[in-house]
Amino acid sequence: MYPQPSRPENVYPMPGSLRRKARLVDLPLISAVPAGKVATIFHPDYADSYVTVDDVKDPGAFALKVKGNSMSPRIEDGDVVIVSPQAEARSGDICVVRVNGEDTLKKVKFEGTYIHLVPLNPDFEPVTVKKKDINFVWKVVKLIKEL
C-alpha cells in the first residue's frame, strides 16, 4: 500500500553477520555529582528516575547527573555518567570520588599514599588528597551527553 522508501546511493545495508544484539539495562539515576567544588549531593539510597544503557555488566552500576563544569569540555553540566563500583579504577580514569564525606567527579592519578583529583577544565586547580581520606573511588564507565 505504501511505497518502499528509497535508499540514497551512498548508504549500504549492513550485512547480518556484523549485527549484534545489545543487552539493554535500566540503571537508577540516583542523584547528582558535582564537577566543580566538592559537595555532599550524592545520595545512593534514592532513585530520581532511570536511564537505559547497553553493555554495562556491573549489577551495582548506577547513573549520576553532572553538576558543574570542572570536567568541560569532555563532560559538561547536565550530562549523565554511568558509574560502576565494581570496575577497577586506574590512574587516568574519570571517577566519582568521596573525600571525607564529600563527592566530586574528577580524573584520578594514584601516586603512593596520595590521589590527585585532576579537573579537565584548565580554569580549575587539581587537588591532592591522602588515600586514607578517601571513602571510595568509583569508575565512570559511560557518558551520556545532554543534547
50 vs 95: which has the higher pLDDT:
95
Could you tell me if residue 33 is inside a domain?
yes
- Looking at the structure of the chain, the number of domains it has is 1
pLDDT, position 81: 94
Residues 46 and 23: their CA atoms lie apart, in Å, by 25
CATH number reported for the structural domain that contains residue 129 in this entry: 2.10.109.10
For residue 68, tell me if it sits in a domain: yes
- In a domain? residue 48: yes
Q: Tell me, yes or no, whether 12 lies in a domain.
A: no
What range defines the domain where residue 78 resides? 22-144
Examine residue 96 and state whether it is found in any structural domain, yes or no: yes
Cell, residue 83? 558509574
Is residue 142 part of the annotated active site? The answer reads no
**Catalytic residue (one of 70, 84, 107, 139):** 70
Least confidently predicted of 4-13, 46-55, 94-103, 123-132: 4-13
Residue from 31, 65, 84, 106 carrying the catalytic annotation: 106
Q: What are the strands of the beta sheet with 49-54, ordered from one edge?
A: 49-54, 24-34, 62-67, 80-84, 134-144, 94-99, 102-111, 114-118, 127-130
pLDDT of amino acid 6: 62
Quickly state the pLDDT bin for 18 (edges 50, 70, 90).
low
108 within 8 A of 130, measured Cβ to Cβ: no
Residue 101 lies inside a defined structural domain of this protein: yes
Q: Please state the φ and ψ torsions of residue 127, each to the nearest 5 degrees.
A: -125, 140
Q: Which residue has the higher pLDDT, 20 or 81?
A: 81
| Per-residue model confidence as pLDDT tens digits over 2-16 | 555 566 677 666 666
Is 70 catalytic? The answer is yes
> Given CA atoms 47, 26, 66, 44 in this order, what sign does their dihedral have?
positive
Question: Omega before 122 cis (within 30°)?
Answer: no
Report the 10 Å Cβ neighbour count for 134.
Answer: 16
Residues 102-120: what's their mean pLDDT?
95
